[in-house]
Chains A and B, each alone.
Chain A
Amino acid sequence: MEKTRIGVYVCWCGTNIAMMVDVEAVAKEMESRQNVVLARTYKYMCSDPGQDMVIRDIKEHKLNRVVIAACSPRIHENTFRKALENAGLNPYMLQMANIREQNSWVHSDRIEATRKAKSLVAGAVSRVNHHQPLNKREVPVNPASLIIGGGISGITAALELADAGKRVYLVEKESELGGIAAMLDLTSPHFYSISDSLKTLIRRIEVHQNIKVYMDSQVKQINGYVGNFNGEIKIGNKKVKNIDFGNIVVATGLKPIKPETIENYGYGVFSEVITSLDFEQVLKKGSVLNAYGIKPKNVAIIHCVGSRNEDYKPYCSRTCCMTALKYANMIRSALPEANVYQMYADMRAYGKHCEELYADTSGKNVLFLMYDQREGMPIIEKDAIGPGVLIKFNERLSGEDIEVPAELVILMTAMESGKDAKSISQMTGTSLDANGFFIEKHPKLDPVSTTTDGVYVVGSCQSPKNIPESVSQARAATANILATIAKGYVEVEVITAEVNEDICCGCQFCIQVCPYGANNYDQRKAVSSVNEALCKGCGTCGSACPSGAISTRHFTDKQILSQIEGIMAEVGSG
């Protein structure tokens, strides 16, 4: 057998790692480990020169295993696997040690962090000795896609895919398409009528031969893996339909919170107080009137209702500042004489043409009054001397306690994730963040994929987003999907289990524990075997098998045990 030759690379990550970890010392320590041929450090291992160095070393020094101590494998494992592949080495002969996210960024004692880095790298070196070359498995891709949610994001994705000639199943739980966007009048920052364009898009969807829309429907179950999913859709209350598809786009959007829960705003108590979505309906009717049908002389728009507050939603709902400015402009043109107040916490005018809208609005005799939720939220009560309500709070920019009379109050209510988000995330094997929004694979480099291949999350189901952002995400996801369809096949995880029939005692524990029914028992041979197409490689059977007959590829007992040994071995200090 070929002799094991390991190359160890310790990344500085600029100063990210090098500041807290003595990378040179780590590399030096590794030089003396068994089978290590060379150990180097480099500023940015993931950069082209960094990768080229690995490739060159593999060729020149006949390395057959590589350890890279750098950032989290969840970020760059694939980058380096590709590098190994380019050097003609099997990509699975790589092991990474996470000395950034789980070391240099979380510790503050350089000596300790360096010691820990040595252990982690030693663990990786020890483990990589037992790595086995694995071959990738390719499976054909079903060109149909499932889109969950028929808001602007889902609609965009559906049309993109269908126009490219691919089959689309669009599942919408309501009886109308369009989501929140369909409820809006004009949109910020351009005062452009989204409902008009939506109507055109929806009409196209309805007649498109490649799109099958399921209205009033819900996805009940999803099985399979990228390229080969299978799902059950419940249509209305009765029918259940079974469909096959290769990719999934989750576009379930969000919904406004119920402002009744925030008592100080008096929503539901005073008819003068309405929500932003209520006001969109008022605007759609064409004139600005309050609940009593009178033209208000004072209109107050309160920002961050339920947002950016630990008691309700800690995050920023992101579209409400601009929507509030939009309202101010529309009220100004409908009621030129009215006083318009913006009660805001911070003005978030991010994005194209938004700061301009802010500057423009502030020139229109709109009074911006700042409050701080930590100091107390605005309180709405009946105005003793005027016709409407009074809003009382401490105005931050003047430091004064003030009261503002208003006959119309618009609450910019927070947006929260849809109530089905949880079940959809479980069905699709994706995760939700602490606020119930879907987590993307990488917030910067892979913002529409998820950790489950073939499942994409787009639009405001990921976090509150405006329309252009939602649409861009939908298009980004469809571009990804079309690329996989064009390729015709996907490489699926080779990390599956396998049974060593010689050792298997036929106890069938593995069959009991496998969540995918991937284990079969062969009566004739009296042993179990794994169906690799179904196995997802969780490794549960491996830990259940009493005779040690099952090993999960790339996470074999030997590999993990030797990693433990490596980690626990003494390391030099300093």
Chain B
Amino acid sequence: MSTRINPDFKNELTHFGKDEWNECYHCGNCTAICPLSKDGFLFPRKDLRAIQMGLQDKLDASLEPWLCYYCGECSETCPRDANPAELMMTLRRYLTSRYDKSGLAKLFYTNHIWEYVVLGLMFLAIVVAFLVFLPLKTDAALMVNESGGVMINSLVEGINAERFIGIIEYGDWTMAIVIALLLVSNIVVMFYKSVLSENGIRIPFSSYFTEAWQLVWNFATQSRFSKCDDKQYWIGHLLLMTGYTIMFILVVVFLPLFQIETVEPWWHWQRLLGYYATFGILFFLTIVTIKRLQKRDVKLKYSHPSDWIFIVMLALTTISGILVHIFRLQGMVAATYYTYVIHLAILVPMLMVEVPFSKWSHLAYRPFAIYFARLKTVAAEVEKEKSHKELVPAVGS
């Protein structure tokens, strides 16, 4: 079967980042230099080609963009300055929008005003909800514990600490489940497009389990990223990722243990973990912001609005979180309450919008793509072995 080419397709991609597709003359230097391109998954040239020719189905099925960690080496090598690394980034945005069937991801990527609107509305909703349903107590004295710290769960009028933490926990879980459902459905789409819909591929059932460690391992260590030549980014990214995950787990799973009325000494596990996470996130954010502004590194030269939204939201969340912590320690009741509300009003929309519909989804897609890629490789190996076995007696006879 031959595919009819569609040169107009590339116009659809322009809002996802890179908008120039003509420079590449397919010398293949990028694929040759890429430290991650191997084992039947060759990129970035082939993806660039698929875009130029408008081979949309092929692109939708491709896992390669997720296998790229944007080290930028390809772009540095390209004799035509075709910037293939940025192309892979663009494709990740495009794929995110393709996995999401609600159309929101596409809307946010191609028209970021909508993203601001949704973020803003959610922000307002949360602030208003707090002010109306969970207002600050008037009696400030009851809200400070014996060591002088603010008792964060006891700030709300008419609701005791247990009730309050219950409400927040309930909200947390709801949000986590919604996000998870959205992500899982997207991953199912990804699985369908990249693995199931490919003809003639049969994944051995056992490999789903034997390869599962890839998922966990890659999620936890980002070991693929470490194969890029410049290790700095891997370390930075790992700091951010672990910090973020720790925070997420603390806040969602261990909220009652984390958000407590007493102020533990600074060496308490819960505070240490919190500090590590804050440091990890802040450190990476600072570096990335500076580099994005400097526009010197290939990797961080081109910033899509979604990249900035991501940075700004994360920074605001972190800063407001730090402020809550400081105000608590200082016993500043009102300040603690209001920053806490603002913190939540930033955090929730950030997670709700960014994780399933935007840049943060990559935290799920990446390890899954690696897992799916492994499955396909295993399938191919099995196939090869089979045909080899069939050949052997033929040769012998």
A252 CA to B265 CA, complexed, in Å: 98
Most buried by A among B5, B8, B45: B5
Q: Which of A207-215, A395-403, A465-473, A549-557 contacts B (4 or more CB under 8 A)?
A: A395-403
A195 on interface, CB distance cutoff 8 Å = no
Residues in chain A near residue B55, CB distance under 8 A: 398, 400
Q: What number of A-B contacts does a CB cutoff of 8 Å give?
A: 55
Name the interface residues of B161-179: CB closer than 8 Å to any CB of A.
none
B26 touches A401 (CB 8 A): no
B53 touches A398 (CB 8 A): yes
A402 touches B7 (CB 8 A): no
A402 touches B5 (CB 8 A): yes
B22 touches A403 (CB 8 A): no
- Closest chain A residue, CB of each to CB of B21: A365
User: Given the known A-B contacts A362-B22, A364-B22, A366-B22, are A402 and B52 also in contact in the complex, defined by CB atoms under 8 Å?
Assistant: no
B2 touches A402 (CB 8 A): yes
- Closest chain B residue, CB of each to CB of A398: B49
Name the interface residues of B247-264: CB closer than 8 Å to any CB of A.
none
B22 touches A401 (CB 8 A): no
A359 CA to B80 CA, complexed, in Å: 9
- Closest chain A residue, CB of each to CB of B45: A397
A365 touches B22 (CB 8 A): yes
B395 on interface, CB distance cutoff 8 Å = no
A181 on interface, CB distance cutoff 8 Å = no
A403 touches B49 (CB 8 A): no
- Closest chain A residue, CB of each to CB of B58: A400
Q: Which of B3, B8, B25, B80 contacts A401 (CB 8 A)?
A: B3
The dominant DSSP class at the B interface is loop
Residues in chain A near residue B8, CB distance under 8 A: 339
Chain A: interface residue total (CB-CB under 8 A):
25
B229 on interface, CB distance cutoff 8 Å = no
Most buried by B among A358, A359, A398, A402: A398
Chain B interface residue bracket vs A: 20 to 34
A404 on interface, CB distance cutoff 8 Å = yes
A206 CA to B36 CA, complexed, in Å: 68
- Closest chain B residue, CB of each to CB of A359: B80
Residues in chain B near residue A341, CB distance under 8 A: 7
A179 on interface, CB distance cutoff 8 Å = no
Q: Which of A123-131, A367-375, A530-538 contacts B (4 or more CB under 8 A)?
A: A367-375
Residues in chain B near residue A365, CB distance under 8 A: 7, 22
User: Given the known A-B contacts A402-B3, A403-B2, are A362 and B53 also in contact in the complex, defined by CB atoms under 8 Å?
Assistant: no
B126 on interface, CB distance cutoff 8 Å = no
B386 on interface, CB distance cutoff 8 Å = no
A405 on interface, CB distance cutoff 8 Å = yes
Most buried by A among B2, B46, B52: B2
A367 touches B25 (CB 8 A): no
A364 CA to B80 CA, complexed, in Å: 14
A363 on interface, CB distance cutoff 8 Å = yes
Q: Which of B3, B25, B50, B80 contacts A368 (CB 8 A)?
A: B25
Closest Cβ–Cβ distance, residue A414 to chain B (whole Å): 24
Name the interface residues of B31-55: CB closer than 8 Å to any CB of A.
45-46, 49-50, 52-53, 55
Closest Cβ–Cβ distance, residue A290 to chain B (whole Å): 19
B23 on interface, CB distance cutoff 8 Å = yes
A369 touches B53 (CB 8 A): yes
Residues in chain A near residue B26, CB distance under 8 A: 370, 397
Q: Which of B1, B4, B7, B50 contacts A339 (CB 8 A)?
A: B7
Closest Cβ–Cβ distance, residue A392 to chain B (whole Å): 6
A322 CA to B58 CA, complexed, in Å: 32
User: Given the known A-B contacts A362-B25, A365-B22, are A397 and B1 also in contact in the complex, defined by CB atoms under 8 Å?
Assistant: no
User: Given the known A-B contacts A362-B22, A362-B25, are A367 and B49 also in contact in the complex, defined by CB atoms under 8 Å?
Assistant: no
Residues in chain A near residue B5, CB distance under 8 A: 367, 369, 402-404
A392 CA to B4 CA, complexed, in Å: 9
Name the interface residues of A390-433: CB closer than 8 Å to any CB of B.
392, 395, 397-405
Residues in chain B near residue A392, CB distance under 8 A: 2
A153 CA to B190 CA, complexed, in Å: 63
A366 CA to B49 CA, complexed, in Å: 13
Residues in chain B near residue A370, CB distance under 8 A: 26
- Closest chain A residue, CB of each to CB of B82: A362
Q: Which of A366, A369, A397, A400 contacts B3 (CB 8 A)?
A: A400
Most buried by A among B8, B49, B50: B49
Residues in chain B near residue A364, CB distance under 8 A: 22
Most buried by B among A341, A364, A402: A402
5 further A-B pairs in the complex, CB-CB below 8 A; given A362-B22, A400-B58: A339-B8, A363-B23, A364-B22, A367-B5, A400-B2
Q: Can you list 30 pairs linking A and B with CB atoms under 8 Å apart? A: A339-B7, A358-B25, A362-B25, A363-B22, A365-B7, A367-B5, A367-B52, A367-B53, A369-B5, A369-B53, A392-B2, A395-B53, A397-B26, A397-B45, A397-B49, A398-B50, A398-B53, A398-B58, A399-B46, A400-B2, A400-B53, A400-B55, A401-B1, A401-B2, A401-B3, A402-B2, A402-B3, A402-B53, A403-B2, A404-B5
